[in-house]
Structures are given as structure tokens and as C-alpha cells.
């Protein structure tokens, strides 16, 4: 089995009024695509927020390349190479597309590095080069989603965390979005995503994780994937 880049072990977390995550354990293999599915309110976004340091687990660990992220600041987690595109749109509508993308590199001090990364990202995302000077708010929801992807790559992340990237996309942009996820993965980035569009997402994924009521119900590596071939379903927690 591929080495895990990220391991959840007994993660319990919530927002102060009872636990939302009730002991979540699974591994995210390095270099793969792991897709989390599950009903509304099952804790998928909460789990992703815990990875990014926006929710602090009460119990358990989230180990990324040997470092426990629990208790680390969101900034530290970004510096370690984990970026998240949130479920809700997050561009600054009054700023241009270019300014929004450049903001993604706010932890990078070297202007030359920022310029080089911008060039690379603009090349990979035509929407960025074509609409660089337009206000982000003028783009469609799907175009904004692609710009959000472009922005997250400015930090050259190891792990890209995506919360329902397909939400609200028309079929054409949806295809583009999934292609983009595949390309990010082929570029060597590990992808952890939550997706309601299970059919398309699971086709892309090496591993599927089903969450229900704050627990993992099923965690399965694809038989023809880069993982092991005889994965038995694992019962959570
Ligand atoms: N900021 C918050 N404060 C308090 N409770 C919250 C907060 N965010 C989420 N919750 C609650 O935590 C539970 C899990 O929510 P979460 O957003 O993680 O679910 P989800 O699986 O992502 O659902 P969806 O498919 O609707 O995005 C829900 O009961 C929700 O009401
Ligand atoms: Mg959610």
C-alpha cells in the first residue's frame, strides 16, 4: 500500500455543542485522489476544516508527513503545503482575477517566485490569462471555481483539499473541473475531496470514503488503483 501522506486517527471534533466527528480514522495515500462522500450534515466539511486547522479536534490525531496537525495554526498548516478550496465561493469579487490568484501566494515573500508561479498557473488555466484584468465578481460560478483552483496552486501545495468543487457547476464546467483535479493529481499533488457528484468523483478517485453521522462507514481503495488490491471494507470508527 502507498505510504499515507495524511492519517486520521480517532478524530473527535465539534463546534462546542456536542461532537460532530465521533472518531474518524482513515489514511490518505500519497499521490492519490481520495474522495469523501456522505449525506448532508455527516461531518465532511468539519473533517476538512480540521485538516486546515479551522476546527480543532478534541481527541485524536491528524498526521501529515510525520507531523501531528492537531493544535497547529492554519498558517502553519498552509506553510506545510496543505491548501483548501472551501465549499463556499471565496474570491474577492471587487478585485481582479489576477489579484485574486496572486493573493494565493501571500506566504511567499520572493516576488520572482510569485511571478514565475503566476505565469505557470495562468498557462494552465486559460480563464486566468483570458480574464486577468476583470473583476472576479463578473465571472460565472464555474469560472470562479477554476480561479479558486488556480489560486490554491500559488503555494505549490503537496496536498490539495477540495470541498464539493462541483457545486453549482454546469455540465461543461463540471467536466473541466474534474479534468483540472486530474491534472493537479498528475502533477504529483495528493487530492482529498468531498463530492456529492459521487459517480464522477469516484471514477477519478483511488480511494472512496463514506461518512455518516460523524463516522467512517466504508473506506475502500480501488482494486485497480495504486493502492492494494484486496482492500476489505473497514468499519468505522
Ligand atoms: N460553524 C458551525 N457551528 C456549529 N455547528 C456547525 C457549524 N458548521 C457545521 N455545523 C454542524 O455540524 C454538522 C456537520 O456539518 P458539516 O458542514 O461538517 O456537514 P457536511 O457533511 O459537510 O454537510 P453538507 O453535505 O451539507 O456540506 C451539522 O450538524 C452542522 O449543522
Ligand atoms: Mg459540507
Q: To test ligand 1's pocket by mutation, which of 12, 21, 39, 46 has the most ligand atoms within 8 angstroms of CB?
A: 46
Q: How far is CA 153 from the centre of its chain?
A: 11
> pLDDT, tens digit, for every residue of 68-79?
999 999 999 999
Q: What is the pLDDT of residue 88?
A: 84
Q: What is the pLDDT of residue 43?
A: 97
Q: What is the pLDDT of residue 121?
A: 93
Q: How far is CA 35 from the centre of its chain?
A: 10
Q: Under a CB-based contact definition with an 8 Å cutoff, are residues 166 and 195 in contact? A: yes
Q: Which ligand approaches the C-alpha of residue 41 most closely?
A: 1
Q: Which distant-in-sequence residues (6+ apart) come within 8 Å of 84 by Cβ?
A: 48, 51, 52, 152, 160, 161, 162, 163
Q: What is the pTM of this model?
A: 0.90
| Measured distance between the N- and C-terminal CA atoms of the chain, rounded to whole angstroms | 21
CA 201 to ligand 1 centroid distance, Å: 21
CATH 3.40.50.300 correct for 1-80+190-237: yes
**Separation in Å, CA 152 to CA 155, 219, 234:** 6, 27, 32
Q: Which one, of 30, 43, 34, 142, lies nearest residue 81 by Cα?
A: 30
Of ligand 1's listed atoms, the one at least distance from the Cα of 194 is 22
- What is the DSSP secondary-structure string of 90-105? -S-TTSBHHHHHHHTT
Q: What is the pLDDT of residue 52?
A: 97
**For the chain, which residues score pLDDT lower than 50?**
225-237
Preceding peptide of 237 cis, ω within 30°: yes
Q: What is the pLDDT of residue 224?
A: 58
Instruction: Kindly list the protein residues whose Cβ atom lies closer than 6 A to any atom of ligand 1.
Output: 15, 20, 38, 40-46, 87
Q: What is the pLDDT of residue 136?
A: 97
Q: Which ligand approaches the C-alpha of residue 163 most closely?
A: 2
- Residue ranges per structural domain of the chain: 1-80+190-237
Minimum CA distance residue for ligand 1 atom 7: 15
Distance CA 210, CA 218 (A): 5
Q: Which ligand approaches the C-alpha of residue 49 most closely?
A: 1
Amino acid at each position: 500500500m502507498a505510504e499515507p501522506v495524511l492519517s486520521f486517527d480517532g478524530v473527535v471534533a465539534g463546534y462546542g455543542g456536542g461532537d460532530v466527528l465521533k472518531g474518524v480514522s482513515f489514511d490518505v495515500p500519497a499521490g492519490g485522489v481520495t474522495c469523501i462522500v456522505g449525506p448532508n450534515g455527516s461531518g465532511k466539511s468539519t473533517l476538512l476544516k480540521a485538516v486546515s486547522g479551522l476546527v480543532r479536534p478534541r481527541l485524536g490525531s491528524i498526521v501529515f508527513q510525520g507531523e501531528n496537525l492537531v493544535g497547529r495554526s492554519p498558517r502553519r498548516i498552509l506553510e506545510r503545503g496543505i491548501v483548501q478550496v472551501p465549499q463556499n465561493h471565496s474570491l474577492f469579487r471587487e478585485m481582479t482575477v489576477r489579484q485574486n490568484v496572486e493573493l494565493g501566494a501571500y506566504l511567499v515573500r520572493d516576488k520572482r517566485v510569485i511571478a514565475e508561479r503566476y505565469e505557470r498557473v495562468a498557462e494552465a488555466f486559460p480563464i486566468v490569462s483570458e480574464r486577468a484584468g476583470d473583476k472576479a465578481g463578473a465571472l460565472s460560478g464555474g469560472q470562479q471555481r477554476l480561479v479558486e483552483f488556480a489560486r490554491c496552486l500559488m503555494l505549490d501545495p503537496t496536498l490539495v483539499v477540495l470541498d464539493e468543487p462541483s457545486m453549482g457547476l454546469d455540465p461543461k464546467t463540471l467536466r473541466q473541473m474534474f479534468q483540472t483535479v486530474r491534472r493537479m493529481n498528475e502533477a504529483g499533488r495528493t487530492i482529498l475531496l468531498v463530492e456529492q457528484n459521487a459517480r464522477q468523483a469516484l471514477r477519478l478517485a483511488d480511494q472512496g470514503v463514506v461518512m455518516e453521522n460523524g463516522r467512517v462507514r466504508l473506506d475502500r481503495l480501488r482494486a485497480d488503483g495504486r493502492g492494494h488490491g484486496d482492500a476489505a471494507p473497514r468499519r468505522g470508527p
